[in-house]
């Protein structure tokens, strides 16, 4: 296993929809293992393949509350898609590994139903609410080429973009 670099805004790959995974082969299993190590090292609760530079429709997450046993709540979703939404909620103080230095309140659906397959290719259907619903929406947004900053106010988004552009200019 290896730690992968997390791609950050404004990298162009973050704007592209991810490619469907046709075959769960050894390269996908290896990517899952590397993404797992990267997720826990970050630390984060969700990670899409695009965030580590792989334009593949895959994400993993761990919203388990048992901090003494990391990895016990790890789930992998391949080719996930939201098939049903319900209600509205504000995800307070949402952040992203690919958008460092910004946390914001983000409008989300209160409940979602997601379908995909697991790492063995078995169909998975998840009916989620609360934190899991928000994490799934956030990570699926990544797979669709969308960052959470697109869901916040234009004022806050533009302030963040200007700050990043200034930092990139200063780096040279």
The Cα 45–Cα 4 span in angstroms is: 16
Which one, of 11, 95, 112, lies nearest residue 53 by Cα? 11
Q: How far is CA 49 from the centre of its chain?
A: 8
Residue 145's SS3 state is: coil
92 tagged catalytic = no
User: In the structure encoding, which two tokens stand for residue 151, read together?
Assistant: 């869901």
Catalytic residue among 139, 144, 150, 171: 139
**CA 166 → CA 11, 163, 170, 171, distances in Å?**
15, 5, 6, 9
User: In the structure encoding, which two tokens stand for residue 72, read together?
Assistant: 């016990």
Q: Which sign, positive or negative, has the C-alpha torsion 82, 86, 87, 91? A: negative
Give the catalytic positions in this structure.
139
């Amino acid at each position: 296993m290896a730690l992968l670099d997390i791609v950050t805004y404004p990298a162009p790959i973050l704007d592209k929809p991810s490619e469907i995974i046709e075959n769960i082969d050894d390269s996908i299993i290896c990517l899952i293992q590397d993404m797992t190590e990267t997720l826990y090292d970050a630390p984060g609760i969700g990670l899409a393949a695009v965030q580590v530079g792989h334009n593949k429709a895959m994400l993993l997450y761990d919203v388990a509350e048992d901090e003494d046993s990391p990895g016990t709540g790890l789930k992998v979703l391949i080719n996930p898609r939201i098939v049903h939404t319900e209600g509205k909620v504000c995800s307070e103080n949402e952040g992203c590994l690919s958008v460092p230095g910004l946390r914001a309140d983000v409008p989300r659906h209160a409940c979602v139903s997601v379908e995909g397959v697991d790492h063995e290719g078995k169909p998975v259907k998840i009916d989620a609410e609360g934190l899991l619903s928000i994490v799934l929406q956030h990570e699926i947004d990544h797979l669709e080429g969308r960052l959470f900053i697109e869901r916040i106010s234009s004022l806050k988004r533009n302030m963040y973009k200007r700050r990043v552009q200034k930092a990139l200019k200063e780096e040279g």
